[in-house]
Amino acid sequence: MAYKNLTDLHMHTSSSFDGHYSAAEMCEAAVNAGLSVITFTDHFDVDFFEEHRLSERQVTSYEDVVSAQAAFADKLKVLVGIEVGQGTYEPELTKKSLEKYEYDFIIGSIHNLRKTPDFCELDYTNMTLDEVYGLLDKYFEEMHLLAKWNGFDTLAHLTYPLRYIMGNYGIKVDLKKYDGIVEEIFKTVINNGKALEINTSGLRQKIGVTMPTVDYVRRFRELGGELLTIGSDAHFTEHVGAGINEGFAIAKAAGFEYVTYFEKHKPVMVKITV
């Protein structure tokens, strides 16, 4: 089934340390993919502030996106966002940095534990299962702290470490033991009036499922969640809009009638229609 009014609220330009294309090139790809709304969300992993040269990158990202927004105004709704990684590790620096510009949308992410490399860079080959669960225990605790911190509009890619642990390394883990903390995370996000993200990048990677999966999205809905954002996490033009249609189908299957995008941090509801 092909859905209308597709919204892709998570993508990166060359202003991200791992991005490759300008905002205009990504916009062109979005028009070709038939999208209605996109939001740029360049990385801002605040605990790597110096290493990622974030004070410069924040400026180039904002300027690049705002000029593409003007250039594509008649073809596509383009919004200005940022993906704040590990905001809870450096809350003061995060707050100060975000005051610099008026963003439409902030994604809240955890890519790494404190003073530890990104989950994508860890070598799980010689880890015991206890060590793997140890990392996951800490990851879900950090997601809970992030939810309580509340400095974002949507909570990004819940279950992110599984992309590597299960997807790339084929290590089987039982997530049942985290159901309690996930429920606490969802309740916190819902009480704070914030959104949950369905990140569709997993669909084109080894793990083969969205982050989080439909079961979690359904649980979020059952607990009263109303705001859901969908994002491809594209770092290349060919991935702009990738999996967004499937994301809409998952939202619908989980009991949602609407998905959401944010403009100046205000949720705008988009009816899921074919």
Burial of 22 (0-12, 13-18, 19+ CB in 10 A): middle
Q: Which is nearer to Zn ion, 64 or 233 (CB)?
A: 233
Tokens matching residue 42 = 């360049």
Q: How far is the CB of 113 from Zn ion (least distance, A)?
A: 15
Decide if residue 188 touches Zn ion (CB under 5 A).
no
Q: Which is nearer to Zn ion, 47 or 233 (CB)?
A: 233
Q: How far is the CB of 41 from Zn ion (least distance, A)?
A: 6
Q: How far is the CB of 154 from Zn ion (least distance, A)?
A: 11
Q: Which is nearer to Zn ion, 232 or 252 (CB)?
A: 232
Q: Which is nearer to Zn ion, 142 or 226 (CB)?
A: 142
Q: How far is the CB of 50 from Zn ion (least distance, A)?
A: 20
**In the range 193-252, which residues lie near Zn ion by CB under 5 A?**
233
Count of chain residues binding Zn ion (CB under 5 A)? 3
Q: Which is nearer to Zn ion, 203 or 224 (CB)?
A: 203
Sign of CA dihedral 67, 74, 83, 131: negative
Q: How far is the CB of 185 from Zn ion (least distance, A)?
A: 16
Q: How far is the CB of 2 from Zn ion (least distance, A)?
A: 25
**In the range 100-119, which residues lie near Zn ion by CB under 5 A?**
109
**In the range 79-98, which residues lie near Zn ion by CB under 5 A?**
83
Q: Tell me the residue type at 65.
A: V
Q: Which is nearer to Zn ion, 185 or 252 (CB)?
A: 185
Q: How far is the CB of 49 from Zn ion (least distance, A)?
A: 16
Q: How far is the CB of 1 from Zn ion (least distance, A)?
A: 27
Q: Which is nearer to Zn ion, 197 or 255 (CB)?
A: 197
Non-local (6+) Cβ contacts of 46 within 8 A are: 54, 84, 85, 86, 87, 89, 90, 93, 94, 97
Q: Which is nearer to Zn ion, 73 or 243 (CB)?
A: 243
Please spell the DSSP secondary structure of the chain, one letter per residue. Answer: -PPSS-EE--B--TTSTT--S-HHHHHHHHHHTT-SEEEEEEEEEGGGTTTTTHHHHHHHHHHHHHHHHHHTTTT-EEEEEEEEESGGGSHHHHHHHHTTS--SEEEEE--B-TTS-BGGG---TT--HHHHHHHHHHHHHHHHHHHHH--SSEE--TTTTHIIIIIIT-----GGGGHHHHHHHHHHHHHTT-EEEEEGGGGGSTT-S-BS-HHHHHHHHHTT---EEEE--BSSGGGTTTTHHHHHHHHHHTT-SEEEEEETTEEEEEE---
Q: Which residues bind Zn ion (CB under 5 A)?
A: 83, 109, 233
